Structure 1
Amino acid sequence: MSSTSNSNGTAVAQAQVVELSEFKEPSPAGPAIFAGNLGLLDSVKVNLNVMVGEVQTTVGELMELKEASVLKTDRKADYPIDIVVNGNVVARGQLVVVDDHFGVRISELAKVAHA
């Protein structure tokens, strides 16, 4: 980029026109990135959430919540909970207690959706 001076002596940048050729995407060639070596993904971090249910409420009702208030979810007690990875349900299961912690016993794996 070059510059010139205006009538006040201040430097003013002048734009240069650059011609770009059209990008042509090459055809993919060679083996797939992972080519059956899924072990390369073993250390990739993902977010896993256990979704017990959802509650729809108003801001007013939310502001009125106090200690010992109970929120009733949209799930029945015997209905499986969702196991969600990065926003996608990957399995369902039941809540269990393991050494004073909640756990999930997986009862159903999600079916693979083909595009």
Structure 2
Amino acid sequence: MSGSMLSQAEIDALLAQIPASVDEENQDGRSKLIQPQQTASEKIVPPGSHPNLERILDIPLQVKVTLGQGARSVKDVLNLMPGAIVEFERNVSEPVDIMLNGKLIARGEVVVVEEHFGVRVTQIISPLERVRKMV
């Protein structure tokens, strides 16, 4: 591995080491909440079971939250100015998407924490489904 960032090929190789039985209790493909007593990393990689994978669990990853997206004409973009409002089709009551490496991993609701935005996670895409989407 070069530097502190993993290439997509390195991530794919590490994810391929995860056994297919990671989440057999959720075979119907529905998302489920992960219980706070057991973190996602413990669910995917029980301590001591995959020493190679355990070595990368503390690598920082880029997480993005998608509030909405849409298409705008060049004219609309050029007319943007301070105070303009860019509206999206997503309803205010709909959850926002939490993305990792461009892949959906969870959904949540926007909250304010002191003077910062945050997201309260309301739904986690199952670990098995997340791994399938990353490969």
Q: Which consecutive unaligned segments of at least 5 residues does structure 1 have?
A: 1-31
Q: Which residue matches 1:110?
A: 125
Structure 2 residue runs without a partner (length 5+): 1-16, 19-44
Query: Which structure has greater helix proportion?
Result: 2
Q: Structure 2 length normalisation: TM-score?
A: 0.56
Q: Comparing both structures, which one devotes a greater share of its residues to strand?
A: 1
The amino acid across from 1:110 in the alignment is: I
Report whether the alignment pairs 1:54 with 2:53: no
Greater Rg by CA? 1
Provide the aligned C-alpha RMSD in A: 2.2
Aligned residue pairs total 84
TM-score, normalization by structure 1? 0.65
3-state SS of the aligned residue for 1:83?
strand
In the alignment, is the contact (CA less than 8 A) between 1:55 and 1:71 conserved in 2?
no
Question: Which 4+ residue blocks in structure 1 deviate beyond 4 angstroms?
Answer: 32-35
Identity across the alignment (%): 27
Q: Take 2:66 and 2:81, find their aligned partners in 1: how far apart are those partners?
A: 23
1:36 to partner: Cα distance: 2.0
